[in-house]
Amino acid sequence: MKRKKTKKIQVGNVFIGGDSPIVVQSMLKTDPDNFQETLNQTRELKKAGCELVRIALPQEETCKIIPFLKKEVDIPIIGDIHFNHRIALRAMELGIDGIRINPGTINNVRKVQEVANMARDTKTPVRIGMNTGSIEKRVLKKYKRPTADAMVESALYYTGLFEDAGWTELKVSLKASDIYQTVEAYKKFAKQSQYPLHIGITEAGPIFSGAIKSAVGIGILLYEGIGDTVRVSLTGDPVYEVVAAYHILRDMGLRKRGINIISCPTCGRCKTRNLMEIVEAFEKDIIDFDGHLNVAIMGCEVNGPGEAKEADIGIAFGSNKAILFKKGSVVKTGIPKELAKNILKEEIYNTIG
Ligand code: SF4
How many angstroms is it from 240 CA to the middle of ligand 1? 28
pLDDT at residue number 318: 85
pLDDT at residue number 264: 87
Give CA–CA dist 281/337, Å, rounded: 13
CB-CB contact of 225 with 1 (8 Å): yes
Give the position, in ligand 1's atom list, of the atom nearest the Cα of 264.
Answer: 4
Which of 271, 272, 300 is the best mutation target for the ligand 1 pocket, counting ligand atoms within 8 Å of the beta carbon and taking the most?
300
Which of 261, 262, 270 is the best mutation target for the ligand 1 pocket, counting ligand atoms within 8 Å of the beta carbon and taking the most?
270
**Helix, strand, coil percentages, rounded to 5, for the chain:** 45, 20, 35
pLDDT at residue number 228: 98
Give the position, in ligand 1's atom list, of the atom nearest the Cα of 316.
Answer: 1
Name the CATH superfamily, with its identifier, for domain 9-251. Answer: Dihydropteroate synthase-like (3.20.20.20)
pLDDT at residue number 304: 64
Ligand 1 near 305 CB (within 6 A): no
- Which ranges in the chain are annotated with CATH 3.30.413.10? 258-352
What is the architecture of the domain spanning 258-352? 2-Layer Sandwich (3.30)
How many angstroms is it from 296 CA to the middle of ligand 1? 12
pLDDT at residue number 299: 86
Angle at 310 between CA 308 and CA 311, to 5 degrees: 70
pLDDT at residue number 337: 84
Give CA–CA dist 100/87, Å, rounded: 11
Q: Which of 160, 155, 158, 98 is nearest to 130 (CA)?
A: 155
Ligand 1 near 177 CB (within 6 A): no
Ligand 1 near 266 CB (within 6 A): yes
DSSP per residue over 322-343, as a string? EEEEETTEEEEEEEEHHHHHHH
How many angstroms is it from 297 CA to the middle of ligand 1? 10
How many angstroms is it from 273 CA to the middle of ligand 1? 12
**pLDDT tens by residue, 113-122:** 999 999 999 9
Protein residue closest via CA to atom 5 of ligand 1: 266
- Which ranges in the chain are annotated with CATH 3.20.20.20? 9-251
Ligand 1 near 134 CB (within 6 A): no
Ligand 1 near 299 CB (within 6 A): yes
The mean pLDDT of the chain is: 92
Ligand 1 near 276 CB (within 6 A): no
pLDDT at residue number 126: 98
pLDDT at residue number 258: 86
Give CA–CA dist 36/31, Å, rounded: 10
Ligand 1 near 267 CB (within 6 A): yes
Give CA–CA dist 279/318, Å, rounded: 16
Alpha helices by DSSP H, the chain: 35-47, 65-72, 85-93, 103-106, 109-122, 137-143, 148-164, 179-192, 207-223, 238-251, 275-285, 304-310, 337-352
Amino acid, single-letter form, for residue 31: D
Per-residue pLDDT of the chain (353 residues; tens, 9 = 90+): 789 999 999 999 999 999 999 999 999 999 999 999 999 999 999 999 999 999 999 999 999 999 999 999 999 999 999 999 999 999 999 999 999 999 989 989 999 999 999 999 999 999 999 988 888 888 989 999 999 999 999 999 999 999 999 999 999 999 887 899 999 999 999 999 999 999 999 877 899 999 999 999 999 999 999 999 999 999 999 999 999 999 999 999 999 888 889 898 888 888 777 888 888 888 888 887 888 899 999 887 677 667 767 789 988 888 778 889 888 788 899 999 888 888 998 988 888 76
CB-CB contact of 91 with 84 (8 Å): no
- Pairing relationship of beta strands 198-199 and 229-231 according to DSSP bridges: parallel
pLDDT at residue number 289: 83
**pLDDT tens by residue, 321-351:** 888 988 878 889 999 988 888 899 898 888 8
**pLDDT tens by residue, 157-213:** 999 999 999 999 999 999 887 899 999 999 999 999 999 999 999 877 899 999 999
